[in-house]
Structure 1
Amino acid sequence: MTMATGIVAVGLDLAGVAWATRVLLAVTAALWAVMAVTFASRLRGGREQRRSQGREPVSLTTVAGSGVLGVGLLLFRHETAAEALLALMAAASLLLLLPQVVRHLRRRLPGAAYLVTVSTQSLVVLASTLAKQVPARWLLWPAGVLLALGLALYLFVLGRFDFAQVRDGAGDHWVLAGALSISALACAKLAAAAGTPAPRPLEALTLAILAAALAWYVLLACAEVVRPRTRYDGRRWSTVFPLGMTATAAMTAGTVSGLHWLDVLGRVLLWPALAGWAVVAAGAVRHAVASRPSA
Structure 2
Amino acid sequence: MRDRPGRWWAELPPAAGAAVMATGILSVDLHLIGSELPSLAFFALAGLGWIVLAGEFLARLAGDRRRWRAEADTPPALTAVAATTVLGARCVQQGWTAAGYALLAPAALIWPVLLVSVLRRWHRGMPGSAFLVCVATQGLAVLAAALHRAGGPGWLGDAALAAFGLALLLYLEALARFDFRQVREGPGDHWIAGGALAICALAGSGLITTHRWTGGGQDALKVLTLVLVGLDLAWYVVLLTAEARWPRPAYDIRRWATVFPLGMTAAACLSAADAVGVDWLRSTGRVLLWIALGFWVVTAGGLLLTLRRRRAEEAARSG
Contact map agreement 1:248 1:266 (CA 8 A) in 2: yes
Find the partner of 1:101 among 108, 115, 118.
118
Residue 10 of structure 2 corresponds to residue 12 of structure 1: no
Q: Gaps (5+ residues) in structure 2?
A: 1-18
Contact 2:157 2:212 in 1 (8 A): no
* Residue 278 of structure 2 is aligned to residue 271 of structure 1: no
3-state secondary structure, aligned to 1:87: helix
RMSD, matched Cα:
1.3
Determine the structure 1 residue equivalent to 2:258. 239
Q: Distance in 2 between matches of 1:289 and 1:210?
A: 39
Which range moves more in the overlay, 20-29 or 135-144?
Answer: 135-144
Q: Distance in 1 between matches of 2:63 and 2:229?
A: 41
Query: What SS does the corresponding residue of 1:187 show, helix, strand or coil?
Result: helix
Q: Name the count of aligned residue pairs.
A: 294
Residue number in structure 2 paired with 1:121:
138
Identity over the aligned pairs, expressed in percent?
A: 43
Any conservation in 1 of the 2:85–2:143 contact (CA below 8 Å)?
A: yes
Distance 1:45 1:162 in 2: 35
Matched residue, 2:7: none
2:149 maps to a residue whose letter is: K
Decide which of 50, 65, 88 is 1:32's aligned counterpart.
50
Give the TM-score normalised by structure 1. Answer: 0.97
1:50 deviates by 3.1
Contact 1:243 1:273 in 2 (8 A): yes
TM-score, normalisation: structure 2: 0.90
2:75 counterpart residue number: 57
Q: Distance in 1 between matches of 2:165 and 2:156?
A: 15
- 1:171 equivalent to 2:179? Answer no
Which stretch of the first structure deviates more once superposed, 42-51 or 82-91?
Answer: 42-51
> How many angstroms apart in 1 are the aligned matches of 2:89 and 2:42?
13
Residues in 2 aligned to 1:195 and 1:47: alpha-carbon distance in whole angstroms: 43
TM-fit CA distance, 1:194: 2.6
SS in structure 2 at match of 1:259: coil
Using the TM superposition, give the Cα deviation of residue 134 of structure 1 relative to its aligned residue in structure 2, in angstroms: 2.3
Equivalent residues of 1:140, 1:194 under 8 A apart = no
Q: Residue 140 in 1 paired to residue 157 in 2?
A: yes
Tell me which structure has the larger Cα radius of gyration.
2
- 1:80 pairs with 2:98: yes
For residue 229 of structure 1, give the secondary structure of its aligned residue in structure 2. coil
**How far apart are the structure 2 equivalents of 1:283 and 1:136?**
44
Matched, 1:187 2:187: no
Q: Find the aligned partners of 1:151 and 1:166 in 2 and give their Cα distance.
A: 21
Aligned residue identity for 1:200 = D
Deviation at 1:41, TM superposition (A): 1.2
Per-residue deviation, 1:75 = 1.9
